[in-house]
Amino acid sequence: MKIETIAIHAGNHIDPTSHAVVQPIVTATTFERGEDGGFPGGHIYSRASNPNRASLENVLAKLEGGEEAAAFSSGNAAGMSVFQSLEPGSHIIAPDDMYHGLRNQLKTLFAGILEFDFVDVNDSAVLRSHIQPNTKLIWLETPSNPLLKVTDIKMVVAIAAEHDIKVVCDNTFATPLCQQPLALGADLVMHSTTKYFGGHSDLMGGALITVKKSDWWEKIRNVQTMGGAIPSPTDCYYLTRSIKTLPYRMRGHVKNAQLLAEYLDNHDKIEKVLYPGLQSHPQHEIATEQMTGFGAVLSFLLKGGEEEAKRVVNALQLFTQATSLGGVESLVEHRASVEGPDTKTPFNLLRVSVGLEHIDDLIADMAQALG
């Protein structure tokens, strides 16, 4: 089936009791045993599994072309389950511009438990030079947040395979509509489902999708079940519902982002626009090869420095100044102010999550703010 059909049907079933065309929300925390002590419905206790979570995990796995998915209460919980599945003393290589939430998680929660280096994973020589005998995982984030770097997934996978190292790719920015990391050789895909899967800035969630079941995947599943950082049945239901429109929403997001990026790229007050869909992007060719769309997040740097960036962000009227991304409404944020003292983000950079408003209105608002 095509991805539009998968998005609608892989997480849905006709309710066998009422014959409703959409399955109900099952809020039960526990499930009846059969006479033989088994569980005829396939569920024992909602921390371990739930009908709504099963539906969500099925559609997530199918969208990414994986064998199985695990849903979590947030993107950070999904990422942390990967780190928790590693043996103490394991070494992780991560991008030097890794999402600050997961970077800080490693630096604070896993200090003294895991070893990690934040490097330019786009540089094969640098990547190779940081591989150690205890390196177990290379973490990728492509496009990255908020510098929109694109990493050659096949290149990293090939290097990792030489040393029997697992590769995890954060695919939040691209979504499976624009990029399929498992098909490019990654072992796991991670998502903050809060973003484009939810799509309306009203759901929190995270997910991991594996290319195949393995002993490592079972460890991650155990972290999910025993740790209990799971989404509620209601959140699973609404996330599954939102996914039904994901393919069509992403087309609108990507179209708007490309047009806004082109407008900003030609504005005399803009120093640089970071968007993979522009030929000026340093990894545009890689993006063209491994992506079917360039996503809907862009960043731009202003010539007037930090002061001008803050003036512009406060002058915008249609773009809401708020964190996060992936909703139908356009958002803008001065990322360096959010990320803390060790940020790698330039202070004249604004990150934009391009929504589904009419592009003429978005450009008009940007024009008045830039002046």
* Helix, strand, coil share of the chain (percent; to 5): 40, 15, 45
Task: Provide the token pair at 115.
Answer: 């070893």
Task: Give me the catalytic one of 97, 170, 187, 365.
Answer: 170
Q: Is 99 a known active-site residue?
A: yes
Task: Give me the catalytic one of 47, 219, 251, 344.
Answer: 47
Q: Contact at 8 Å (CB) between 78 and 207?
A: yes
Q: Contact at 8 Å (CB) between 53 and 233?
A: yes
Q: Contact at 8 Å (CB) between 212 and 24?
A: no
The sign of the dihedral angle between the CA atoms of 126, 131, 135, 138 is positive
Q: Minimal CA–CA distance to 217: which of 31, 61, 107, 52?
A: 61
Q: How far is CA 73 from CA 129, 206, 342, in A?
A: 36, 6, 27
Task: Give me the catalytic one of 62, 99, 152, 275.
Answer: 99
Task: Give me the catalytic one of 53, 103, 166, 195.
Answer: 195
Give the DSSP H/E element, type plus range, for residue 350. strand 349-353
Q: Is 237 a known active-site residue?
A: no
Q: Is 170 a known active-site residue?
A: yes
Phi/psi for 217 (5° steps) reads -65, -35
Q: Is 275 a known active-site residue?
A: no
The one-letter amino acid code at 308 reads: E
Using CB atoms within 10 Å of the CB of residue 347, give its burial: 0 to 12 exposed, 13 to 18 middle, 19+ buried.
middle
3-state SS assignment for residue 86: coil
Give the orientation angle of helix 359-370 with respect to helix 305-315, to 10 degrees: 130
Q: Contact at 8 Å (CB) between 245 and 348?
A: no
Note if the bond before 231 is cis, omega within 30 degrees.
no
Distance CA 192, CA 207 (A): 7
Active site residue ranges = 47, 99, 170, 195
